[in-house]
Structure 1
Amino acid sequence: MAHFWQGLRSGEWLTAERMRGYSMILLGLCIVATVGWIALSDSFIDRNGKPIGTDFSSFYAAGSLALEGHAAEAYTPTAHYAREQRLFGEKTPYYSWNYPPVFLLVVTPLAALPYPLALGLFQLAGLGLYFLVIAAILAPARRRDPVFARNWLPVAAAFPAVFINLGHGQNGFLTAGLLGAALVTLERPMLSGLCIGLLCYKPQFALVIPVALLVAGCWRVIASAALTVAALVAVSSFCFGIDSWTAFLASTETSRKVLLEQGSVGFERLQSAFAAVRLWGGSVPLSYAVQGAVSALAVVATAWAWRVSDNRALKAALLVTATALTSPHMLDYDLVVLAPALAFLTLVMQQDGARDYDKSLMALIWITPLMARSAADLFGIPLGLLAMLALFVMVLRRLRQQRDNVASGVDLTFANP
């Protein structure tokens, strides 16, 4: 038993060979399951009567309405569901559309394509961006260590949140890619700001990023992001009409009550402090209070780190994790955004060494998306939230230890591969 705990503490059990082997096994199982599920479908409708790519059917239906000049109807549940039924059959479940009109700029062109092609193009493009960004973050480590260079891709590909995102046809790859790209290109403020501005289709992730940029004095990044958002609002208003924005704003109250407070998507799928309290039977006011406290702590800690630290990798990891923690509407497929945080922290550990239990905790956080929904559903354990909190504390602890001398010991050039 003592040897077991010593192994967990040192992380010696997590060798490069095991990381690659475990990743390849999981990757193979998921690929076989995915191919089999698609092969058993009937005209891209799975055995449960759901469209392959589930949530993407919502994107496709909204884009279809926008193509016909009825973008505002995507925010009317009856009209949107009628379009989903027309496209995928009367028995298809309803998948809501809750994104601002700027995201219609992405999904409307896709709706002009056959559904399987649109889904495949959307996911492959997002997955490609995800891999490029993880590769860019880890570029210094890949150059220094040939073993690391051989193993990073299987580990990134087999991250369980990748398959959850693929299965739901969601936009987590785009979110993770843009957030990671924004942080890896901070020395190119116009590009970094552009990436941040493009994230405006996920307004629930907007709480902590502006605070970090403000306290760090990243004024050109802020200006670029603001101009990008303004341009996207203007273009989407021109393409889809001001009424699309009016309809979106009117729909947010219903979305908040139904999706978040009532948990129509299932509190076991939501990975936030708010959802954890609701999962345990807490009231809506108590859930907001707990979420508010967690969010406030995350924002304050991130602001402190971005104000006093020169360690870009650790600050980036903290910001990504805080962004996830501060959103009450954080679903299990959104956990793919933790991949850039894990990559930034891995870069630091590869250069600065691992602390006690770091490797074992990283492995547990990596595998968490695979078990998060089941753990919450069967046992009431919010594993996703616990994993995010653990990652946040790990990064914050390193920042406190290194705030005085980290810049001289870590290579943070983040050159593109």
Structure 2
Amino acid sequence: MGQAVKRHAVSDLAATLRSGDWLTRERVRLWCAALLGVSGLALAVVAATSNGMTDYQGRPLATDFSCFWTAGRLVLDGHPAAAYDDAALAALQRATFGPQTPFYGWLYPPFFLLVAALLATLPYPLALSAWLATTIALYVLAIRTILQTAADPATPRERGGPDRLWLLVALAFPAVLVTVGHGQNGFLTAALFGGALAVLDRRPLLAGVLIGLLVYKPQFGLLIPLALLAGGRWRTIAAAAATVVVFAGVTLALLGPEPWRAFLAVSGAVRTEVLEQGVAGWHKLHGVFAWTRFWGGPVDLAYGLHAIVALATALAVVWAFRARVRPALRAALLLVGTLVVAPHSHDYDLMLLGPALAFLITDATRHGFGPWEKTLLAVVYAVPLFTRAVAEHLMIPLGTIVILALLITILWRCTNGGGLAAAPSDSVIAPLAKLPPRPN
């Protein structure tokens, strides 16, 4: 009798997870409000126990932002190439934040030195505040644009204005807390990439400019040219190329050639130390390469497995853009595929899952959810909060596993999702996409 009850309970649980009926609107509202409240409280505690420059542990506030600001100071002092000199950068960080400050290296191409220099014109706390406020606003704008673009024009505007649950869900996304804690550029990356894909069909030149500005994250640009070429997006390609050329020209004119020489000189060492040797910790990285090295696989095997998965993902993206699958699905596929193909990504780079989820939500709202999809989307939403701790303590690369599962789900929707039943009326996800269409 007891075994029968257990089997029945397991069967009921599986059925509930499969249908996603547990993911009600009210539960999402409460959980997201709790997430946002706890995140805000944690940040408030850190701010209250800091001295304005360092936290209670003596680390720079928003740790990684310290390398942005100090690299910018070197630019303003007339030594932009010194940002790639670990000794010089570390000395400035210790002089600024204290002699026990851990080293935060500068790994970006010279393009991003222009942004760093602009930030360094402000005192550190003010620069950090301005950086986070601006990039969070851009991220929110990109999510809203995605929802507006994919909204059904036949859906009447709800009385009292558009539903605001989307804003709570976007701000409570755990990757937001991770990115704020690091002071990183995840918001900017998500805004540029997600915004470009949102306007790709309507404003191809603007999409190209936004894509061109992503050049500061070269590891995330591997699939974009393939997708644009496969889709025949010639105006977007031209705009992106022109943006990169202009950006490079401005950087060269303002900073000279030395930063470029220094960047190229250290690139090989960065690949060896960060990617192959995992000096920062493989538990912090995502991707098949990091997974293989994390579990003790040799470098050659890691490259081989990564190449196989990357090639399969690239072929899928090319097919999706050539086949003209639904725009929201091909956008989500490119965003998630970028995380799969990138040689490495950190937990703050999981901000790319934000716009990917927004595209998937809008597609599923209009065309229906498949089995297990609501539950998977909930897991994807939550995973940035746990991925580093689970990898570090349990040796399970949770982030990589979930990203691969999401990629497979998107491919399934691309090939089999057209005949799905309409989403149930009590779906938590459906109201998120009911934003009014952009007025003409």
Q: What are the equivalent positions in structure 2 for 1:353-372 lying under 5 Å apart?
A: 353-372=368-387
**Is the Cα–Cα contact under 8 Å of residues 367 and 418 in structure 2 kept in the other structure?**
no
Deviations 1:223-271 (A, max 9, x none): 0000000011110011111111111111111111111111111111101
| Structure 1 equivalent of residue 107 of structure 2 | 98
**Mapped partners of 1:328, 1:370: distance in 2:** 22
Deviations 1:115-144 (A, max 9, x none): 001011111111001001101111254984
Q: Does 1:286 align with 2:301?
A: yes
Amino acid aligned to 1:166: V
Deviations 1:75-114 (A, max 9, x none): 1111111111121111110000011111111110110100
Q: Does 1:137 align with 2:152?
A: no
**Mapped partners of 1:48, 1:395: distance in 2:** 42
**Mapped partners of 2:152, 2:51: distance in 1:** 43
- Picking from 18, 21, 29, the partner of 1:20 is 29
**Is the Cα–Cα contact under 8 Å of residues 64 and 183 in structure 2 kept in the other structure?**
yes
DSSP-derived class of the 1:59 partner: helix
**Mapped partners of 1:68, 1:142: distance in 2:** 52
**Mapped partners of 2:123, 2:417: distance in 1:** 52
**Mapped partners of 2:396, 2:231: distance in 1:** 36
Q: Does 1:331 align with 2:340?
A: no
Amino acid aligned to 1:151: L
**Mapped partners of 2:330, 2:235: distance in 1:** 18
- Picking from 188, 197, 204, the partner of 1:183 is 197
Amino acid aligned to 1:258: E
Q: Following superposition, which runs of at least 4 residues in structure 1 exceed 6 angstroms of deviation?
A: none
How far residue 43 of structure 1 moved from its aligned partner, in angstroms, is: 3.5
How far residue 275 of structure 1 moved from its aligned partner, in angstroms, is: 0.9
**Mapped partners of 2:290, 2:219: distance in 1:** 15
**Mapped partners of 1:291, 1:164: distance in 2:** 26
| Structure 1 equivalent of residue 428 of structure 2 | none
DSSP-derived class of the 1:268 partner: helix
| Structure 2 equivalent of residue 47 of structure 1 | 56
**Mapped partners of 1:254, 1:310: distance in 2:** 41
How far residue 42 of structure 1 moved from its aligned partner, in angstroms, is: 2.5
Q: So what's the TM-score if we normalise by structure 2?
A: 0.90
How far residue 148 of structure 1 moved from its aligned partner, in angstroms, is: 8.1
Pair 275,118 (structure 1): closer, same or farther in 2 beyond 3 Å: same
**Mapped partners of 1:415, 1:223: distance in 2:** 28
- Structure 1: runs of 5 or more not aligned: 406-410
How far residue 349 of structure 1 moved from its aligned partner, in angstroms, is: 0.8
Q: Does 1:295 align with 2:294?
A: no
Amino acid aligned to 2:130: L
Q: Does 1:166 align with 2:180?
A: yes
**Is the Cα–Cα contact under 8 Å of residues 179 and 195 in structure 1 kept in the other structure?**
yes
Pair 69,404 (structure 1): closer, same or farther in 2 beyond 3 Å: farther
**Is the Cα–Cα contact under 8 Å of residues 139 and 187 in structure 2 kept in the other structure?**
yes
| Structure 2 equivalent of residue 56 of structure 1 | 65
**Is the Cα–Cα contact under 8 Å of residues 310 and 403 in structure 1 kept in the other structure?**
no
| Structure 2 equivalent of residue 198 of structure 1 | 213
RMSD between aligned residues: 2.0
Q: Does 1:269 align with 2:284?
A: yes
Pair 158,78 (structure 1): closer, same or farther in 2 beyond 3 Å: same
| Structure 2 equivalent of residue 408 of structure 1 | none
Q: Does 1:85 align with 2:94?
A: yes
- Structure 2: runs of 5 or more not aligned: 1-8, 421-432
**Is the Cα–Cα contact under 8 Å of residues 226 and 314 in structure 2 kept in the other structure?**
yes
**Mapped partners of 2:41, 2:101: distance in 1:** 25
**Mapped partners of 1:81, 1:241: distance in 2:** 23
**Is the Cα–Cα contact under 8 Å of residues 370 and 417 in structure 2 kept in the other structure?**
no
* Larger of the two Rg values belongs to structure: 2
**Is the Cα–Cα contact under 8 Å of residues 181 and 192 in structure 1 kept in the other structure?**
yes
Deviations 1:287-315 (A, max 9, x none): 11111111111111110111112411100
Q: Does 1:384 align with 2:404?
A: no
**Is the Cα–Cα contact under 8 Å of residues 184 and 414 in structure 1 kept in the other structure?**
no
DSSP-derived class of the 1:149 partner: coil
Deviations 1:29-61 (A, max 9, x none): 111011001111133211222101100000001
Pair 70,346 (structure 1): closer, same or farther in 2 beyond 3 Å: same
| Structure 2 equivalent of residue 122 of structure 1 | 131
| Structure 1 equivalent of residue 163 of structure 2 | 149
Pair 262,110 (structure 1): closer, same or farther in 2 beyond 3 Å: same
DSSP-derived class of the 1:94 partner: coil
**Is the Cα–Cα contact under 8 Å of residues 197 and 331 in structure 2 kept in the other structure?**
yes
Q: What are the equivalent positions in structure 2 for 1:205-354 lying under 5 Å apart?
A: 205-354=220-369
**Mapped partners of 2:52, 2:334: distance in 1:** 42
Q: So what's the TM-score if we normalise by structure 1?
A: 0.95
DSSP-derived class of the 2:342 partner: coil
**How high is the sequence identity, in percent, across the aligned residues?**
45
**Mapped partners of 2:62, 2:138: distance in 1:** 19
DSSP-derived class of the 1:315 partner: helix
